Structure 1
């Protein structure tokens, strides 16, 4: 497999993937589940993400140039690799469809109410498919600059909204016991931290170096992501208090509260840009890895690009069909089914393959 990424680029791509749509979509449902203990749920699940990095990075080092599908086939046989790979692929397709559907729902509910959301989905997937055809080594540079602009706007939003913060909203922390905190941990263990297993399909693209610090740099990216999510979650909680969990696209809503003289108004346009661009980048990464997964399951070389547009079309159809059932049905899938699906499709397979590799190593 041709190496096209440096460790720094891999860490940047990892941060983009983790932060992407989560920095706008996570705060409201997390606060709804965990109440004032949302920050505790975030820290705990961030530690879970760090632990999950261990098997991902270790397997990438032990089997350089091989993806999850390839070293699973080597360790457990082709039938097991196909079985785990199909489950692995199903979750990636669901992720791509869901991310783009979020973009469409946001545009329809906040900006273009008279436009059918299927239009947004079709054109979003068309743009994503065109983007990933150029290759990961090329679009990662553009994504880094775009993510920098997103983070600048997010920090700018938080700083301006600090004038509206009410620090009394942070108390009491665990008034309802630990159950809400555990509920929040369950929710974000699926999105975004359980999803990091997807990078087992990207690490083979990283150029090997004499002093391999890829794992450390990815761990730093994960810690920066956790800090970013803590920042926006606390900003939402301090602004809206008890009703923070009811504010969907919370940073967009926080931006609406900003009004400093006549200079800083209508800041929510920057948050709208941030949500769309960040979600677009994450969806591109997911469709890129799902395309590689599909190629390997079919025995095709990863350079093959013939299936990109058909795969994007499939994701678009799924996105439209799920969206037809309504936003309430989608919210149930994200908060109830998604964490279990991620555990079964991502977390359990990578841990299983990791333990098999350890047993094989002991025997040899």
Structure 2
């Protein structure tokens, strides 16, 4: 694995595919179930919460630009607290990566290849993602750069083509179940995808610094674009499917089935499915790389030694954690946000505050 640095733009591309990729498949169903027509409002509010998480991550990065999150915790809190903080976080990332793999497999078996066993898809995606992660961050940055353009192009086209079935009236009422349902949607969106921003801090130090410039504006812009894209997918799904959208786990796939332009452009949901699978593949590969970085840094050993072991663990977890997609949905809408808040956000907040206080005291002592 190469341990080289990548440019600001390449890091911004990785960040965009990281927070948008698998969310294109997995976020619409849970948000629509939680907030109904107000799901897009919940998404935008959760996106704002994501800006605060990103602010904390970038605050630590700017203070320790050459260290990953594990070493930032070690420098700030000490070795003992590092193990207490990072080990649960590693388990959380394993859990989330397994959820993404299972969600991708469910997309295949419920929407496209219903007779194929689930483990086939899990094995193939993890073998591919593991090999990609093993190649290193420079290879992923170059490869995902092109794939991001392909992904965004297909998504935008798929949202434009069904324009003839869109009805603005389907968006009303905005909050049929009250504002509490919107807050429930914010809770769901906070746990996924926006709490995942913290995990990205494990690899943020790979960015190549430029004199007088920072990565901040690129990542803030990427997060803003992410919010717009995901909100648009929810809005278009509601306008195109109406009340039917609340009964579908993958509404974007159903929306793609409605595309019909004359007798030429029809039944293009398979192309859209490829785009969705690309997004999940890139997110899974990045999470495998992030897990390897976290474990290697925590144990102070050479990186890239654990990727295949991690992929094997994720495979077994994805095949054994849930009996069906209903259990996955309950886990994503209830458990994931609570787990990521407890073992991810709260420690991040503490580390950022302690690091800031130490930095201020250090400046006062030297002045």
TM-score scaled by structure 2? 0.95
Q: How many Å separate the matches in 2 of 1:91 and 1:234? A: 30
Alignment of 1:43-54 (within 5 A): 43-54=44-55
Per the TM alignment, residue 29 of structure 1 is displaced from its structure 2 partner at its CA by 2.1
Aligned to 2:298: 297
Alignment of 1:57-136 (within 5 A): 57-136=58-137
Alignment of 1:1-364 (within 5 A): 2-301=3-302, 304-323=303-322, 325-364=323-362
Q: How many Å separate the matches in 2 of 1:2 and 1:265? A: 46
Provide Cα deviations, 1:256-277, integer angstroms capped at 9, x if missing partner: 1111211110110111101111
Given that residues 35 and 42 in structure 2 are in contact (C-alpha distance below 8 angstroms), is that contact kept between their aligned partners in structure 1? yes
Aligned to 2:365: none
> 1:66 is paired with a residue of what secondary structure?
coil
> 2:265 is paired with a residue of what secondary structure?
coil
Given that residues 32 and 244 in structure 1 are in contact (C-alpha distance below 8 angstroms), is that contact kept between their aligned partners in structure 2? no
Provide Cα deviations, 1:202-256, integer angstroms capped at 9, x if missing partner: 1110111112231110000000000001111100010112221221111111011
Q: How many Å separate the matches in 1 of 2:213 and 2:344? A: 25
> 1:54 is paired with a residue of what secondary structure?
helix
In the alignment, structure 1 segments of 5+ residues that lack a partner are none
> 2:173 is paired with a residue of what secondary structure?
coil
Distance 1:208 1:3, change over 3 A: farther
Given that residues 34 and 41 in structure 1 are in contact (C-alpha distance below 8 angstroms), is that contact kept between their aligned partners in structure 2? yes
Give the superposed CA RMSD: 1.4
Per the TM alignment, residue 290 of structure 1 is displaced from its structure 2 partner at its CA by 0.5
Provide Cα deviations, 1:21-59, integer angstroms capped at 9, x if missing partner: 112322232122112212211221111111111111111
In the alignment, structure 2 segments of 5+ residues that lack a partner are 363-367
Given that residues 61 and 205 in structure 2 are in contact (C-alpha distance below 8 angstroms), is that contact kept between their aligned partners in structure 1? yes
Moved over 6 A (4+): none
TM-score scaled by structure 1? 0.96
Provide Cα deviations, 1:261-308, integer angstroms capped at 9, x if missing partner: 11110110111101111100000011100011111222213xx32211
Per the TM alignment, residue 69 of structure 1 is displaced from its structure 2 partner at its CA by 0.8
Q: How many Å separate the matches in 1 of 2:280 and 2:337? A: 19
Q: How many Å separate the matches in 1 of 2:292 and 2:299? A: 11
Per the TM alignment, residue 2 of structure 1 is displaced from its structure 2 partner at its CA by 4.9
Per the TM alignment, residue 322 of structure 1 is displaced from its structure 2 partner at its CA by 1.6
Given that residues 27 and 245 in structure 1 are in contact (C-alpha distance below 8 angstroms), is that contact kept between their aligned partners in structure 2? no
Question: Once structures 1 and 2 are overlaid, which stretch shifts more, 118-127 or 276-285?
Answer: 118-127
Question: Once structures 1 and 2 are overlaid, which stretch shifts more, 171-180 or 74-83?
Answer: 171-180
Given that residues 22 and 192 in structure 1 are in contact (C-alpha distance below 8 angstroms), is that contact kept between their aligned partners in structure 2? yes
Per the TM alignment, residue 105 of structure 1 is displaced from its structure 2 partner at its CA by 1.4
Given that residues 92 and 287 in structure 1 are in contact (C-alpha distance below 8 angstroms), is that contact kept between their aligned partners in structure 2? no
